[in-house]
Each structure stands twice: as C-alpha cells, then as structure tokens.
Amino acid sequence: MTTQETRRSARPDARRGTRPLGVAMIGYAFMGKAHSNAWRNVASYFDVPSFERTVLVGRDKVQVADAAATYGWAESATDWRAVVDRDDIDIVDICAPGWMHAEIALAALEAGKHVLVEKPLANTMAEAEAMTRAAQAARTRGVQSMIGFNYRRVPALALAKELIAEGRLGTVRHIRASYLQDWLTDAQAPMTWRLRKDAAGSGALGDIASHAIDQVMFLLGEGVTEVSGRLHTFVSSRPGEHGPEDVTVDDAAWATLSLTGGAIASVEVSRMATGQKNSLKLEIYGDKGALLFDLENLNELGFLDATAPAREQGFRRILVNEPDHPYMGAWWPQGHIIGWEHTFTHQIRDFLTAIDGGSAPSPSFEEGLAVQRVLAAVEESASAKSSTVQLTAPVSDSPAEGA
C-alpha cells in the first residue's frame, strides 16, 4: 500500500443491509493475542467493512473462555469443526500450531469461509500444496485466503519495497538476511511443542527463516531458483513433563539462495544467539544504492544513494512516520513511532479490504507455497550435506506483488 491512509470514515458499508462479517479465530496463545489486538483496533484507525469478533476457539474450555473475555470475543468454543460450519461465521483466522493449519484451512475453505492462516503455511509440502489448490478453487467462488507474513506490513519494509521497485538501488546484487533470537540458549529450558517435528514441522527454519525468506522474495519481487542449506541442533535433549525428551527440530539454519533476477541472498537464523531477542536484520545492496533494516528499530530505514557525489555518500536514517509513508497516515502525527503490534493491524486491514473489494489478498497461499518450497529445499540440501537444490516452481506459484 503506497497511498496515505485516513482514519475510519462514515462511508456507506459495502455490506450495508446485511449483517457484519462474522470472525472466528482458532488459537489464543501468542499469535492469538497478537491477532486479537489487531481485530480489536483495526476499525478504529482504518476504513474497513463491518465485522464482529464472534468466537474464539481453543482446546481448553476454561482457558479459552478466559481468553475470549480478556481479548474481547463475544463467545468461546472448543470444537473448531462446529464453528467452521456455522452460518454466522464468514472469516476463519488460524493461529493454531502448524500441524493443524492444513486440516482447518481445508475445512474452512470448503465451507466457503475466507481464511487467514499464520506462517509457515503448513508443516509439509504435501499439506501446503493441498491448501494452495483448495485456495485456488475457493477463489473462483469469491472466497479469499491469505498467509500471515506480518513483517510485510512494517512501514519501513513497505517503503523499502517501494524504493527498490522505483530503481533507487539499481540492480540488486546481494542480500543478507538474519533473524536471531536467544530464548533457547539455556540447555535446561523446558520442552515445548515448537521443538517437536510432528507438531512444528521444523524449528528455527520454519518459525523464523520463513519470515526472512519471504522478505527477500517480497522486497525484490522475485522467486528462488537454487538453494543450499545447513541445519543444526545445538541442544538435542530438553527437560520434558516425564523426563528428558529428544529435540527433533533444528535450533539454527543457514541458506544461500539464488534469485530469478541474478541476486544472491544469504540467510542465517538461530534461536541460540545469546543477547539477540528478536533481531530481524536485512541488508540489500545494489549498484546504485543500499538499504539497511533492523526489526528492533522498526520505525527506521537506512538508505545510501550511491549516485550522489562520493563526498556526500553515507547511510542516512529515514524515520518512517510521515503521513505519506505506507500505513502511517492512519496513526499519529509525525515523530510519533508505532510498534510491532501494528503490523498485525495493518495485516487485518489489508485482508478485510481485499474481501470487501472481491480481490485476492497478498501474500496468497501461492506465495506461502513458494516460501515452503525454499524451506523444503534447505532441509533437502542439509540432509544431503552440501548439495545444491534446484527449484523450478510453476509460474502460477511465483510470488505476487505485495500490498
């Protein structure tokens, strides 16, 4: 989105004369809290169609009821299948663990519900492909779907994409992307579902490398043709409920990606980077300029114009909070920064706007599948130890332009 946003207006609703869109959200933990905050706030700042936070779904009856009351959902439920079949539900927001994504999304799309699902798209390529086929079929019936790569909605990264598309960097030659965290550095940190392959699909690879890889493809508007990768598990056993339990996913991952336009990207992710809390860093280097971004300073973008005289060159700090910066016109006066949680509000805004306009939102399941192919290729390369994996994705699966 490149135009200035305005605060919510009193324009006639596209669905006036009908009931508001009913929203069901499945999952109420970390992502459920983030998405709930977005659903609660989006209509206060953006012009979106009328909707209701109808029901929050979770496995524990007491805990989900408490979460629904805390987060502002009208009711709670424990049976997602029954909720998906309800006539008063139009949108299903899937914040459940990865192993549940495919089953819920397929059922929701078949029932004619618009679907938003957290990244990564699924735990396996077979699941991701089935979800993409279902999304394509549903789209012909006017049913929309989107995957939640929320960092596309960071205003500074949306601006970075604009600058790259405008040619301000010239020919992009190489990219460095890293996503580093340290929440597993303590070898005695307890076992969680995120460390079990059957539940999470993969470790740092699917959890945070998916974000880094999506950003590389999103910012350049290109696909990946070749992958080499390595995975490593530093702590192979964690304290479980009934004693030590094997960790069956990676703690860290490295990859080198060749892109369709000729650029090379290096990707490094880790949950074992001591001192790094949630550090997504991107460096994009072209023959006419360069960009720097750090999620821990998400309101700032570093830009170097290499066409300027040498004595004037150097990275300059762009504080991305002007009204004509992406998404920023809906928020505060210049100089007042926004935070991580706003990316989810922007995501819900774009999803509702696409549904209202009958257009396919981005990132689509096809784009999620493109990222999934890269993740699978990293695993394949790592298991073969130093092999390079060639990717030949169908044209229809190529990343679309972002919002």
HEC letters along 113-168: CEEEEECCCCCCHHHHHHHHHHHHHHHCCCCCEEEECHHHHCHHHHHHHHHHHCCC
Residue 109 lies in a domain: yes
Check whether residue 123 and residue 160 sit in a common domain: no
Instruction: Tell me, yes or no, whether 38 and 173 share the same domain.
Output: no
Question: Do residues 177 and 266 touch, judged by C-beta distance below 8 A?
Answer: yes
Domain C-terminal end among 133, 150, 167: 150
Structural domain for 315, as ranges: 154-334+365-397
Distance CA 377, CA 102 (A): 20
Residues 135, 115: contact at Cβ < 8 Å? yes
The confidence score (pLDDT) of residue 397 equals 53
pLDDT-based confidence at residue 392 (cuts at 50, 70, 90): confident
Please indicate, yes or no, whether residues 250 and 137 belong to a single structural domain of this protein: no
SS (H, E, C) 30-64: HHHHHHHHHHHHHHHHCCCCCEEEEEEECCCHHHH
Residue 9 lies in a domain: no
- Residue 160: what pLDDT? 98
What residue type is assigned to position 43 of the chain?
A
What is the per-residue pLDDT across 312-352, written as a single tens digit (0 to 9) for each?
Answer: 999 999 999 999 999 999 999 999 999 999 999 999 999 99
Q: Classify residue 354: in a domain, yes or no.
A: no
One domain for residues 141 and 211: no
Region of 170 on the Ramachandran plot (φ > 0 left; ψ -120 to 50 alpha; else beta): left
DSSP symbol at 257: E
In a domain, 344, yes or no: no
Do 317 and 206 lie in one domain? The reply is: yes
pLDDT at 14 over 60: no
Residue 12 binned pLDDT confidence (cut-offs 50, 70, 90): very low
Q: Which residue has the higher pLDDT, 388 or 11?
A: 388
- Asked whether residue 349 is domain-assigned, the answer is no
Q: Is residue 247 situated within a structural domain?
A: yes
Checking phi first, is residue 142 left (phi over 0); if not, alpha (psi -120 to 50) or beta?
A: left
The span from the CA of 220 to the CA of 320, in Å, is 20
Distance CA 231, CA 385 (A): 10
| Residues in the chain, overall count | 403
Do residue 186 and residue 244 come from a single domain? Answer: yes
CATH number at residue 314: 3.30.360.10
> Is 251 within 8 Å of 203 (Cβ atoms)?
yes
* Same domain (yes/no): 144, 159: no
Q: End of a domain among 84, 116, 150?
A: 150
Specify whether 124 is located in the same domain as 167: no
13 pLDDT band, cuts 50/70/90, is: very low
Do 106 and 91 lie in one domain? The reply is yes
Structurally, how many domains does the chain consist of?
2
Same domain (yes/no): 262, 285: yes
CATH code: domain of residue 44: 3.40.50.720
* Predicted local distance difference test score (pLDDT) of residue 394: 56
pLDDT tens digits, 34-61: 999 999 999 999 999 999 999 999 999 9
Is the pLDDT at 16 greater than 80? The verdict is no
Residue 46 lies in a domain: yes
Q: Looking at the structure, tell me whether residues 158 and 35 fall in a common domain.
A: no
Q: Are residues 290 and 223 in the same domain?
A: yes
User: Residue 146 has which token pair?
Assistant: 């989107």
Give the integer Cα–Cα distance in Å for 132 and 174.
Answer: 30
